């Protein structure tokens, strides 16, 4: 009886404390199961792989974002320089075209009367880089840039921009010959180098290869626009001068067609009955003077812009040389009415653009 009770309790104890692992499984089988609060080697390997993938994806996304930002910033910088250079070129056209070489010359806008400032072409290196562009390169056009010139010499990737300048070119428009340059500003793109095939030809054609990107400042187009502006302003001045002449004739006591109302004195400055002695326009003394020098802009109610040609030069006025009909002309055939005066300007290239005002009665 006692033996049977001991066997019963032993059997009951074994059922409550049975080992879940089969006999002989030992430690190797037990390693397949996770102990409380820990990770198996397999789980750790999977976690490391997933983490590596996430890091790789995030790095690629960061690089893509950086490239995208660099591209956008490069575009903005190039556009800013293009606009600034175009405006600076227009205001300094004659000064720039006084230099036929591959250099851009601008009037010193910082110190009045100071030396002119220049922008030089970058130097092309064998390693495809352009050198010579630095934080002071665009200082000559500082006032034309939306941002500080020190922020515009590098592209969005932090590399110096490359400057290409053609030798001086020449074009004939409506019989008028004009000199001009073409300029290209180029970024080497994400790789930071200029492709050897990227180039600005001597006649102003820009070719970019690979991820290089650039903008053109077309001197020819600016020249055409300047000629159009010059022609329009010449017409405005001539028309206003002819109206002024007719008005002086109407208020004159004698209303004589033998009086030259374009000047109030002779070539030497002497009073004469052949000139509008009470008029406000002085004789230019046998030469040409700018309109402000004889206050013609004030008399004709014209602004300084109105009396400046499209290339930035003040128009010239001649009312007394032998090139106009005047009582003082050395050629007797040029001393009779209708009297004339000439407004003109010297264009870059040497061509004279002029218009003649004819005295109306």
Give the phi and the psi of residue 255 in degrees, each rounded to 5: 45, 50
With 80 as the cut, is the pLDDT of residue 130 above it? yes
Domain boundary among 177, 211, 245: 211
Domain boundary among 146, 181, 211: 211
pLDDT of 259? 93
> Are 292 and 354 in the same domain?
yes
Long-range Cβ contact pairs of 132-136 (< 8 A, separation 24 or more)? 132/163, 133/160, 133/161, 133/162, 133/163, 134/160
Interatomic CA distance for residues 252 and 255, integer angstroms: 5
Q: For the purposes of burial, counting CB atoms within 10 Å of the CB of 290, is it exposed (0-12), middle (13-18) or buried (19 or more)?
A: middle
- The pLDDT tens digits of the residues spanning 109-121 come to 666 677 889 999 9
Domain of residue 254, residue span: 225-358
In a domain, 318, yes or no: yes
> Are 138 and 257 in the same domain?
no
Q: What's the pLDDT band for 334 if we cut at 50, 70, 90?
A: very high
Domain boundary among 189, 211, 233: 211
> Are 231 and 297 in the same domain?
yes
State how many domains the chain has. Answer: 2
In a domain, 17, yes or no: no
Give the phi and the psi of residue 239 in degrees, each rounded to 5: -60, -45
Q: Of the ranges 34-38, 45-49, 291-295, which is most confident?
A: 291-295
How many beta carbons lie within 10 A of that of residue 24, not counting itself?
6
What is the distance of C-alpha 155 from the center of its chain? 15
With 60 as the cut, is the pLDDT of residue 62 above it? no
> Are 277 and 238 in the same domain?
yes
In a domain, 1, yes or no: no
Interatomic CA distance for residues 147 and 316, integer angstroms: 37
> Are 180 and 95 in the same domain?
yes
In a domain, 19, yes or no: no
- The pLDDT tens digits of the residues spanning 335-356 come to 999 999 999 999 998 899 999 9
Least confident of 60-64, 96-100, 243-247: 60-64
Interatomic CA distance for residues 334 and 314, integer angstroms: 27
> Are 147 and 236 in the same domain?
no
> Are 72 and 164 in the same domain?
yes
Q: Report the mean per-residue pLDDT for the chain.
A: 86
């Amino acid at each position: 009886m006692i033996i049977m009770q001991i066997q019963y309790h032993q059997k009951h104890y074994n059922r409550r404390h049975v080992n879940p692992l089969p006999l002989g499984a030992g430690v190797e089988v037990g390693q397949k199961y996770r102990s409380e609060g820990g990770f198996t080697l397999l789980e750790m390997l999977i976690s490391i792989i997933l983490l590596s993938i996430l890091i790789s994806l995030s790095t690629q996304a960061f690089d893509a974002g950086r490239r995208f930002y660099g591209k956008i910033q490069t575009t903005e910088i190039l556009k800013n320089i293009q606009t600034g250079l175009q405006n600076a070129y227009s205001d300094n056209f004659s000064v720039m075209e006084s230099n036929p070489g591959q250099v851009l010359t601008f009037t010193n806008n910082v110190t009045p009367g100071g030396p002119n400032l220049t922008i030089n072409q970058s130097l092309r290196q064998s390693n495809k880089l352009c050198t010579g562009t630095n934080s002071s390169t665009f200082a000559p056009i500082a006032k034309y840039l939306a941002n500080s010139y020190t922020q515009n010499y590098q592209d969005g990737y932090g590399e110096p921009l490359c400057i290409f300048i053609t030798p001086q070119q020449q074009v004939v428009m409506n019989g008028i010959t004009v000199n001009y340059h073409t300029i290209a500003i180029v970024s080497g793109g994400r790789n930071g180098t200029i492709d050897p095939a990227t180039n600005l030809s001597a006649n102003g054609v820009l070719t970019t290869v690979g991820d290089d990107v650039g903008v053109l400042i077309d001197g020819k187009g600016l020249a055409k626009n300047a000629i159009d502006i010059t022609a329009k302003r010449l017409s405005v001045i001539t028309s206003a001068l002819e109206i002024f002449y007719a008005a002086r004739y109407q208020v004159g006591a004698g209303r004589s067609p033998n009086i030259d109302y374009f000047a109030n004195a002779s070539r030497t400055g002497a009073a004469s009955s052949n000139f509008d002695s009470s008029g406000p326009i002085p004789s230019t003394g046998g030469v040409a003077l700018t309109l402000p020098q004889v206050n013609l802009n004030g008399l004709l109610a014209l602004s300084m812009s109105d009396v400046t040609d499209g290339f930035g030069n003040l128009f010239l006025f001649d009312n007394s040389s032998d090139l106009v009909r005047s009582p003082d002309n050395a050629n007797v055939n040029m001393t009779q009415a209708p009297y004339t005066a000439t407004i003109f300007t010297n264009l870059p290239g040497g061509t004279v653009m002029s218009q003649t005002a004819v005295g109306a009665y």
